[in-house]
Homo-oligomer: A and B are copies of this chain.
Amino acid sequence: MSEAIPYKIYLAEHEMPKEWYNVRADMKVKPAPLLHPQTHEPMTAEELESVFCKELVKQELDNDNRYIPIPQEIQDFYKMYRPSPLVRAYCLEKKLGTPAKIYYKFEGNNTSGSHKLNSAIAQAYYAKKQGLKGVTTETGAGQWGTALSMACSYFELDCKVFMVKCSYEQKPFRREVMRTYGAGVTPSPSETTEIGKRILERHPGTSGSLGCAISEAVEVATHSEGYRYVLGSVLNQVLLHQSVIGMETKTAMEKYGITPDIIIGCAGGGSNLGGLIAPFMGEQLRGEADYRFIAVEPASCPSLTRGRYAYDYCDTGMVCPLAKMYTLGSGFIPSASHAGGLRYHGMNSVLSELCDQGLLEACAVEQTSVFEAAEQFARIEGILPAPESSHAIRIAIDEAMKCKETGEEKTILFGLTGTGYFDMVAYEKFHNGEMSDYIPTDEELAAGFAGMPQI
């Protein structure tokens, strides 16, 4: 065990990032612009500002500025739960008997339980600065809703969360955490919106979907004075805010002379993966380094490995702008047997473009093997990982075992996005051998593709 590198590296406050890094500035081919859902013309800032906060629209469209200063108020909030530790997985390495050196950046040590807070606080800050009364959003499992509730509570903003009804009923704890932070939580679909009423009429007793919750949140934001809609993933602004993960990681690694060979992240909408790899990808794009980047997605929702790179709707209600991305079609719904998050049909545009250019590898893993890795990791490293994060653990362990075979001393870095305290129902299924590994058939994927716009 090398004594030179501690188990956990925490940056001192003065070493913490003061700027976010915008990887788009270093991309030769920029991600494709957002298109208007009706006209299919590129969205203007003015159009976007009716839905999103002004400053966030600016960040969404900014392909040029490499560094964006982090406002002092956000830096102050970051100090409450950041820096997150960069952990050397000594115990895991020992147990695996691998010559590989494994590191993970752990984002779960805050009450939202994940990295989502990094963007939530930024979005709440800009909403407050714009003089808004509040924001609306949707949440599925509840991590994003929790993060946004915390951020809004800090800036004394109203927060209206539409929570997919089945989650609202199955995850009352998550709901109560949001209520603790003063958020209003409405099960979706609800009678409080036109679209909610329409859906309830058509599908009485429906347990809801993320797409429907998005539509309700957007409706309320655009019909209430002083409100805007905010989103926890997929958007470029979110990746920008999440770059704080990569910036901290890079500083910590440089401090100890560590250079990763492989950088691994789980990929749903792309917020964590994009944030973790951002500054490293920047070096790669500028020809200053040579890393291997791996996006890990669930085999049940394989946008990068089996999707199409094309313009698609971001929501099932088709009210949001169109984005060019790897997608399974906005009508694609992953099997109900899928336990974790990472259920989004598409992938952030920046990551999609990087993938298309061959700069980012992608692989898909089945959930039983993900939970095997999760349990192994929990027992050895003492952290109970979220199912989402465990996708990255799976591939990190696989890569470390390859090193064991070849004898290579590779340095592996992965993002551990959060904790699984609210995912014990999934763990229970795994323990009871009731977890299935359903993978969509080609026919099912074809049905999803069929609903895509022809652009």
Contacts and interface: CB of A to CB of B under 8 A. Distances in A.
Contact of A111 (B79, B179, B384, B425): B384
Interface in A79-129: 79-81, 91, 109-111, 113
A313 interface: no
Interface string A158-172: 000000000000001
Given A379-B153, A421-B421, A424-B173, A384 B180 contact: yes
A64 interface: no
Nearest to A179: B431
A283 interface: no
- Copies in the assembly, this chain: 2
A180 B421 contact: no
A79 B87 CA distance: 10
User: Is chain A's interface secondary structure helix, strand, loop, or mixed overall?
Assistant: helix
Nearest to A383: B111
Interface in A359-380: 375, 378-380
A378 B111 contact: yes
Contact of A382 (B8, B10, B81, B428): B81
Nearest to A12: B6
Contacts of A419: 111
The winner among A182, A380, A384 for most chain B CB atoms within 10 A is A384
A177 B424 contact: yes
Given A13-B7, A109-B109, A172-B428, A381 B422 contact: no
Contacts of A427: 176-177, 179-180
7 nearest A-B residue pairs (beta carbon)? A173-B424, A176-B424, A7-B79, A111-B384, A153-B379, A421-B421, A6-B13
14 contacts: A6-B13, A6-B79, A7-B80, A80-B382, A110-B382, A111-B419, A154-B380, A173-B422, A176-B425, A179-B427, A180-B378, A180-B431, A421-B421, A421-B422
